[in-house]
């Protein structure tokens, strides 16, 4: 049975690999140029930053679940890790909401689910 430090080491390697893969994919998906119009550059950069945070956040969530399932965390550690990610998720939904867009069409399409925040 691997001791805690071994489990963590393997976990860190998984984390590093997944970050590398996902961030490479993001880099490939980025446009050659970002609009440098002074009126828009701030929003463009903000969206870029949020996207990078989201990519990293998804990886962290995925790795956290793997560690939890792998049994390498105590119940306390699971709760603390989960809470951190939960708060980060809530915060990101708020920030994304500021950039998100609602649309009249959307209300119709969602039907029974009601209004979108």
Partner 1 sequence: MPMATYLYCVRSDPVSPADWLAGIDGARVRALEVDDLIAWVSDAGSTTVEPTVARLKAHDAVCAAALESGETPLPVRFGQTFAEDGATIAGIQSRARELRARLARVAGCVELRVVVTIGQDADPAPSTSEPIDASPPGDASSAGEIEGPGTAFLRRLARAGRADLARETGCEEVRRAIRAAAKMIIVDQQRCETVRGLAYFPVLVRHDDVAAFRDVVTDTLPSQAIHLSVLGPFAPYSFAADA
Partner 2 sequence: MPGDVVDNAPLELSDLINRVLDKGAVIAGSVTISVGDIDLIQLDLTVVLTAIETARSAERRRREAREDADGDVPVLRPE
Contact between 12 and partner 1 by CB under 8 A: the answer reads no
Tell how far CA 110 is from the center of its chain: 25
Distance of closest approach, residue 48 Cβ to partner 2, in angstroms: 7
Torsion of CA 95, 29, 34, 55, to 10 degrees: 30
The partner in contact with residue 48, picked from partner 1, partner 2, none with C-beta cut-offs of 5 to 8 angstroms by kind, is partner 2
- H or E stretch including 76? helix 75-99
- Residue 87's Cβ-count burial label (10 Å; 0-12, 13-18, 19+) is exposed
The piece of 5-13, 19-27, 39-47, 48-56 that touches partner 1 (CB under 8 A) is 39-47
Q: Which of 29, 69, 75, 76 binds partner 2 (CB under 8 A)?
A: 29
Distance CA 51, CA 96 (A): 9
- Residue 59's Cβ-count burial label (10 Å; 0-12, 13-18, 19+) is buried
Please say which residue, 7 or 52, places its beta carbon nearer to partner 2. 52
Binding footprint of partner 1 on the chain (CB under 8 A): 35, 37, 40, 43-44, 61-62, 64-65, 68-69, 75, 78-86, 89-90, 93, 101, 103-106, 109, 117
Binding footprint of partner 2 on the chain (CB under 8 A): 25-26, 29-35, 44, 47-48, 50-51, 54-55, 58, 96-97, 99-103, 106, 109-111, 113, 116-117
């Amino acid at each position: 049975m691997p001791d805690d430090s071994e489990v963590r080491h393997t976990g860190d390697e998984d984390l590093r690999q997944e970050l590398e893969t996902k961030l490479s994919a993001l880099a490939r998906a980025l446009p050659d140029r970002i609009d440098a119009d002074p009126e828009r550059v701030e929003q463009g950069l903000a969206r870029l930053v949020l996207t990078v945070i989201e990519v990293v956040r998804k990886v962290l969530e995925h790795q956290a679940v793997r560690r939890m399932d792998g049994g390498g965390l105590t119940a306390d550690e699971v709760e603390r890790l989960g809470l951190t990610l939960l708060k980060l998720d809530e915060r990101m939904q708020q920030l994304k909401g500021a950039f998100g867009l609602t649309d009249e069409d959307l209300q119709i399409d969602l039907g029974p689910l009601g209004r979108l925040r």
